Structure 1
Amino acid sequence: MRQAHNAQARGPRLGRLGWSLISLLALVGLWELIALIAQSRYMPGPTEVVQVMIREAEAGELWGNIAATLIRVAFSFVVAMFIGSAIGLALGRYPMADRFFDTWLIFFLNLPALVIIVLCYIWFGLTEVAAITAVAVNKIPNVAVTMREGARSLSKDLNEMAHVYRFGWWKTLRHVTLPQLVPFFAAAARSGLALVWKIVLVVEAFGRSDGVGHQLNIAFQLFDVPMILSYALAFIIVVQIIEMAIIQPLIARATKWRR
């Protein structure tokens, strides 16, 4: 019975993988077709882009710039998740604080990322602190909104049960509160990673001397489209590997109790 169940579980998974590969190959084929029709240096084909990527990797430029960007992404992500989660939980648990700070939250949600980046560079100079602060400030409101909804949805019945059985604050936090917040934290983390790395590229293009964003800015000035696409594609692949190898397994482990 268990073998049959495992076989049924593997079937849809392999099916999704197969469809993903077919879809990806179709996209690459369409890209190649458009490049052949355009016959322009501003629309390179996938083969040319991959060749540029390999050349940059062999020279060491690709890995060095990706590493610099990933470090900024990691620091900004951790800061934004920690501060945003704390703010969101506080607003969700205390209605008066939520009513007072809701306008602040809406203000920062609608404040353009470019404005925050420019202001941070003006206030703190062209430094790593300014870059990380600009990215974190852009992401904190989004995390706060998601975690606020999570705090609002906490079960009062479960909290009362924990109180009746004298769980204590630590046991209640670990076994009652945090498991209920995991789906919201996971949603904030996954959307946060997608948003943070995009903002990091803008930050690097404006005021850093290394990183993927800096290289994209140089390639833009030279109208080097193959270079732009090669760095963009390489970084997308790296982010997807992080998503599948780290974030998804962690989320699956944290939500295992729900199955």
Structure 2
Amino acid sequence: MTTESSRHPQAPPSWSYWVALPAIFLLWWILAASLKTTLLPDPFQVAHTAWVEFQRGALTEHLLITLRRVAIAFTCAMAAGILLGVWMGRSRFINALLDPLLVLFLNLPALVVIILLYVWFGLIEAAAILAVVINKVPNVAVTVREGARNLDVRLEQMARVYHFSRWQCARHVIWPQLFPYVMAATRGGLALIWKIVLVVELLGRSDGIGFQLHMAFQVFDVSTILAYSLAFVLVVQLVELAVLQPLERYSYRWRLQEIHHANPES
């Protein structure tokens, strides 16, 4: 019989990063040394550029601006997507009513949404954030909707028998079952939002990592492009390793405890 622990996705071992990253940088250095072109600077040149940008404060300033946009858009998209997904998953009528609209937004290119919002509202911060949220909400809703559809009816019936309050039912019965779907939406959501925010900044903002990449592209400054890109990727990896993976492990253990609490006979 498949147990909960055996179904739990295992994160890559931490040593894999210490093997893969040096190998990638070694391959990059060999390729750059062989080609000897300004279109592919070696890792040391890129590191020097990043250090110069950090010393003058530009790298930190634009990185923090981009991270702020990511945090705001991610929070809004997850909240709206979870509510929409649960609503559609629990109501056949609402699902039938909103599913065509959800499919439409899932297939609408992010670039189209960004351009339309900039045209309608102007090159303002609210339009930039809203464009990211609109592009992400359908993905979260689809994932969470599947979780809401697969809720164990027997656990809810048992909760009613024991007179659970709505809060107790949501916390001890519904949320632990939805958690894997929410985590999947979280991981996929961050991966998508990072990219969309950069496009939003490139097209219509005057600050942020995306804007800096646009400025460097204008003069074909590959070293600056790589310096800002890798700084951003480094922060993303730190968030993954220091926040998401520990949170997933902790929350998974909590989920098992909550399910056991809701169903002591399991």
Range of TM-score over shorter length: over 0.9
Q: Which residue of 2 aligns with 1:236?
A: 233
From 107, 111, 116, the equivalent of 1:110 is 107
Deviation (angstroms), 1:196: 0.5
1:106-255 matches, within 5 Å, as 106-255=103-252
In 2, distance between residues paired with 1:51 and 1:58?
11
Q: Which residue of 2 aligns with 1:55?
A: 52
In 2, distance between residues paired with 1:175 and 1:92?
19
Say how many residue pairs are matched. 247
- How much identity, in percent, do the aligned residues show? 48
Deviation (angstroms), 1:200: 0.4
Deviation (angstroms), 1:16: 2.8
4+ residue segments displaced more than 3 Å:
none
CA offsets per residue over residues 8-52 of structure 1, 9 Å max, x none? xxxx99x93333312211111111111111110001111111111
Deviation (angstroms), 1:181: 0.8
Q: Which residue of 2 aligns with 1:100?
A: 97
Deviation (angstroms), 1:246: 2.0
Structural RMSD (CA): 1.5
Q: Which residue of 2 aligns with 1:30?
A: 27
In 1, distance between residues paired with 2:213 and 2:29?
22
CA offsets per residue over residues 225-259 of structure 1, 9 Å max, x none? 00000100000111111222222222222221328
Partner of 2:14, secondary structure, is helix
In 1, distance between residues paired with 2:252 and 2:20?
29
The normalised TM-score by structure 2 is 0.90
Q: What letter corresponds to residue 78 of structure 1 in structure 2?
A: T
Deviation (angstroms), 1:195: 0.6
Q: What letter corresponds to residue 205 of structure 2 in structure 1?
A: R
Partner of 2:40, secondary structure, is coil
CA offsets per residue over residues 67-112 of structure 1, 9 Å max, x none? 0000100110011001111111111000121122211111100100
In 2, distance between residues paired with 1:29 and 1:58?
26
Which is further off, 236-245 or 150-159?
236-245
In 1, distance between residues paired with 2:27 and 2:249?
34
In 2, distance between residues paired with 1:37 and 1:118?
41
Q: What letter corresponds to residue 66 of structure 1 in structure 2?
A: L
In 1, distance between residues paired with 2:148 and 2:13?
34
Q: Which residue of 2 aligns with 1:45?
A: 42
In 2, distance between residues paired with 1:168 and 1:93?
18
Partner of 2:47, secondary structure, is helix
Q: Runs of 5+ in structure 1 lacking a partner?
A: 1-11
The normalised TM-score by structure 1 is 0.92
Deviation (angstroms), 1:60: 0.4
Deviation (angstroms), 1:58: 0.7
CA offsets per residue over residues 127-148 of structure 1, 9 Å max, x none? 1100000000000000000000
In 2, distance between residues paired with 1:90 and 1:54?
48
* The structure with more helix, counted as a fraction of residues: 1
